Chains A and B, each alone.
Chain A
Amino acid sequence: MRYITLALLLFTAACTKAPQVVNEVVAVGSAKLPSSPADPAWNDAPVHLAKMIPQDLVEPRLMTSSTPEVRVRSLTNGSEIAFRIDWDDADQSDMPGPAKMVDACAVQIPEKIEKDLAEPQMGQAGKRVQVTYWRSDWQATVNGRGDTIRDLYPNAAVDHYPFQAKPLEKESADQKEMALRYAPARALGNIRSGPRSEPVEDLVAEGPGTLAPGPSLGSKGKGEFGKQGWSVVIIRKLPDGLAANQRTHVAFAVWQGSKQEAGARKMRTGWIPLVRRDQ
């Protein structure tokens, strides 16, 4: 009985104090996946400390190392997998603009579970990787930031937008159609900014420079900025074929907007084993 009490005490201490640190990413079984990084359910998952290296394989490279590591936890409900990614960041950069980059992170998983792994940086031809990408300005939009220039520059004065002139009625289909003519990326469905319901997007890649929108993995996300930096939850479909106690791999990337990081200028990890442990 004494031993059981001791074990119980130790277990409780482990849950409330320092989290268990593991040398791979362990996706722990959980009926419910927490959508918020603040959810105490994350305490059930051990932490993996993933060292980051600068992207220095293809130009433009990141020449100065920034984010040293990400702290990763993972949970799975058997059909989806959730990651909570934490990193230290002194500045919350979520305002896009000329020479203003935004904070972001991404989770990369091989499309197929194979012995012969794809290149850890964006995969390679014939060995596709799936990337789920979260971005801080998208988070701000989901949190309620409006879709006007004044939401980015509160003192902006605009004389005239042709699509807001009479006889076009406010919010009419005609007005929306005309506004799209002045926003070609939106007209083409390349929603890099503006209204959206999730701060994440699903992508695929077969090597650097090939990143493209991929089939939906039903991804969701939520990021919160705290005293230490960002804490971001990314939930996506469980990798195909990842049965209990089986392994695949995962890699992470982080961009710090305040350090002008975007695209190829990023900190990244190599492949890290990802194991599914149902309880």
Chain B
Amino acid sequence: MARVYNWQLGREMSYWYPENRPQKQFAAVFDTNKCIACQTCTLACKTTWTSGKGQEYMLWNNVETKPYGSYPLAYDLKLLDMLNGQQWNGHKYEGQTIFESAPAGERVLGWRPEQQDYAYPNVGEDDCAGQVDHGSFLSLPHMNWFFYLARICNHCTYPACLASCPRGSIYKRQEDGIVLVDQSRCRGYQECVRGCPYKKVFYNPMTGTSEKCIACFPKIEQGIQPQCFVNCIGKIRLAGFISKPEQARPDNPIDYLVHIKKVALPLFPQFGLEPNVYYIPPIHAPVSFNRQLFGPGAADAMKTYRNAMNDPDLSGLLCLFGSTENVVPHFRRQGDTVVGSNGKDELVRVPLREPVHIRPAVDPKNQLIRINCP
């Protein structure tokens, strides 16, 4: 194993291959506070990429209802259990990653879901054990709250899928950091399925190979955001490219949210993969839960997000989510407007506050009472 630097852990760690960061790294920010679990993203992906034979059960994009939802079943709890409780010291991770805790003979600490584990795409959907008049009839560790967690492949800097493949059939593209399974080389050993802690590689029994999210690379190559981003009803998603922390550019939307404002955090950073989908944590979920999911930055990120209304740059940038099909490499705020550009041309312009029109209930000209109809 080689020694590599993982900024999300604040330390070096062991990895199967030496550090080899791509020229650009695809990244995304998801605002969990805005997701309504409509699953439009899931369907957008499904109809685009996984409508083939053997892909019936696959959800490259899924949306699960936390705290209990998970797809495949208990993918997160199982590994957290295997890691058996680990420690952060401030922003430095002192526990072991899945690479460092690999048992003898293995490349990573992993497990392989059974087929039944894929049978419940969102167990516990909307199961909030809330207060009812006579109290809850069921007592659960997490009461009175839930949120939706949309997930795709994290196109990790240190992918466990890639490290697990004994044939080197998985590669990370130099030009954009997108992680792909070479469909001409894969022999279907399912080592990647076992290795990926997020369970974002799926075995296709009809092709006999493993398949995964491709970050809609044909779109990314044209500067357009992936399907699950542009179809998102809640406008919770923003795709772009992330820099290393010391090279963060304040006008790069992803850098600004992740490195500068630190309002968007990686999912399970403690696994050690340096995942590149970043989440604005749900502000109404307990800090302790957010901390387990998103690491030690959770409390501060929640505070920053709560205060966004007093931070015009941050709230302006949040308005860019879902405002254009284009990937927006640069943004700036001009008064009450936020502008996204590719460095040369303006791509999008969004007001910080939408104008409000109040329509009186009575139309005096036509002598009509107006009614709202959908």
- Interface residues of chain A, those whose CB is within 8 Å of chain B, are 56, 58-63, 96-101, 137, 147-149, 152, 156, 158, 160-163, 179, 181-194, 208-209, 211, 260, 262-265
Choose one: A58, A101, A189; the contact of B184 (CB below 8 Å).
Answer: A189
- Return A105 CB to nearest CB of chain B, in Å: 15
Task: Specify which chain B residues have a CB less than 8 angstroms from the CB of A211 in the assembled complex.
Answer: 167, 187
Say whether B189 contacts A182, CB under 8 Å.
no
Indicate if the CB atoms of B166 and A208 lie closer than 8 Å.
yes
Instruction: Give complex CA distance A176, B186 in Å.
Output: 22
A187 and chain B: residue at smallest CB distance: B183
Which one of A147, A182, A194, A265 contacts B55 once the chains associate, using CB atoms below 8 Å? A182
Chain A residues whose C-beta falls within 8 Å of the C-beta of B202 in the assembled complex? 98
How many residues of chain B have a CB within 8 Å of chain A? 41
Closest-CB distance, A151 to chain B (whole angstroms):
9
What would 20 A/B residue contacts be, using CB atoms closer than 8 Å?
A59-B105, A61-B106, A63-B104, A96-B205, A96-B208, A98-B118, A100-B115, A161-B53, A182-B55, A184-B183, A184-B211, A185-B184, A188-B183, A189-B184, A190-B186, A193-B207, A263-B167, A263-B189, A264-B166, A264-B189
Cβ contact within 8 Å between A149 and B53: yes
Could you tell me if B190 and A98 are in contact, using CB atoms closer than 8 angstroms? yes
- Docked pose: A147 CA to B53 CA in angstroms: 9
Are A149 and B206 neighbours in the complex by a CB distance under 8 Å?
Answer: yes
Residue of A nearest to B58 (CB): A98
Among candidates A60, A160, A182, A191, residue contacting B105 with C-beta atoms closer than 8 Å: A60
A182 to B49, CA, bound (A): 7
A interface, over-half SS: loop
* Given known A-B contacts A263-B187, A264-B166, A98 and B115 have beta carbons under 8 A apart: yes
A241→B191 CA distance, assembly (Å): 38
B113 touches A99 (CB 8 A): yes
A194's closest neighbor in chain B, by CB? B206
Is there an interface contact between A99 and B115, defined as CB atoms closer than 8 Å? yes
Main secondary structure of the interface of B (DSSP, over half): loop
Q: Do B168 and A192 touch across chains, with their CB atoms under 8 A apart?
A: no
Given the interface pairs A208-B166, A211-B167, A262-B189, the reply to whether A158 lies near B113 with Cβ below 8 Å is: no
Q: Which of B51, B106, B191 is the most central at the interface, judged by chain A CB atoms within 10 Å of its CB?
A: B51
- Distance between Cα atoms of A264 and B107 in the complex (Å): 12
**B89-119 interface with A by 8 A CB criterion:** 104-107, 112-115, 118
Q: How far is the CB of B188 from chain A (nearest CB, A)?
A: 5
CB atoms of B51 and A160 under 8 A apart: yes
B209 within 8 A of A: yes
Q: Taking each of A99, A183, A263, which has the highest tally of chain B beta carbons within 10 Å of its own beta carbon? A: A99
Among B47, B186, B206, the most chain A Cβ lie within 10 Å of the Cβ of: B206
CB-CB under 8 A from B113, the residues of chain A are: 98-99
Asked whether, in the complex, the Cβ of A185 is within 8 Å of the Cβ of B186, the reply is yes
Q: In the complex, which residues 114-154 of chain B have their Cβ closer than 8 Å to any Cβ of chain A?
A: 114-115, 118
When A182-B52, A211-B167 are in contact, do A193 and B189 touch as well, CB less than 8 Å?
A: no
* Alpha-carbon gap, A41 to B207, bound state (A): 37
Q: How many Å from the CB of B118 to the closest CB on chain A?
A: 6
Q: Are A152 and B52 touching (Cβ within 8 A)?
A: no
Is B306 among interface residues, defined by CB-CB distance under 8 A? no
Q: Give the complex CA separation of A183 and B164 in angstroms.
A: 23
Bound-state Cα–Cα, A163 to B188, Å = 24
User: Which residues does chain A contribute within 8 Å of B50, judged by CB atoms?
Assistant: 182
Chain B residues within 8 Å of A194, by CB:
206-208
Q: Across the interface, which residues of A come within 8 angstroms of B188, CB to CB?
A: 96, 192-193, 262
Besides A162-B47, A188-B183, A263-B187, 20 other A-B contacts (C-beta < 8 A): A59-B166, A60-B191, A61-B105, A63-B105, A96-B188, A99-B113, A149-B53, A152-B206, A160-B51, A179-B52, A179-B53, A182-B51, A184-B183, A189-B184, A190-B183, A190-B186, A192-B209, A194-B206, A209-B168, A264-B166
Residues of B within 8 A of A148 (CB): 53
A184–B249 Cα gap in the complex (Å)? 38
CB distance from B358 to the nearest CB of A (A): 45
Q: How far in angstroms is the closest Cβ of chain B from A208?
A: 7
Inter-subunit contact A162/B51 (CB<8 Å):
yes
Chain A residues, CB < 8 A from B104: 61, 63
A187, A189, A190 — which one has the most chain B CB atoms within 10 A of its CB?
A190
- Chain A residues contacting B51 (CB-CB under 8 Å) are 160-162, 182
Min CB–CB distance A83 → chain B (angstroms): 22
A208: chain B residues within 8 A (beta carbon): 166
**Measured between C-beta atoms, what is the minimum distance from B38 to chain A in Å?**
19
Contact A59 B106, CB 8 Å, known A161-B52, A161-B53: yes
* Residue of B47, B52, B56, B107 touching A60 (CB-CB under 8 A): B107
Indicate if B203 sits at the interface (CB-CB under 8 A): yes
Query: Closest Cβ of chain B: how far from A73's Cβ, in Å?
Result: 28
Which residues of B (19-66) have their CB < 8 Å from a CB of A?
47, 50-57
A263–B166 contact, CB under 8 A? yes
Closest CB-CB distance, B112 to chain A, in whole Å? 4
Chain B residues with CB under 8 A of A190 = 183-186, 207, 209
Q: Measured between alpha carbons, how far is A101 from B188 in the docked complex, in Å?
A: 9
Bound-state CA distance A98–B50 (Å) is 16
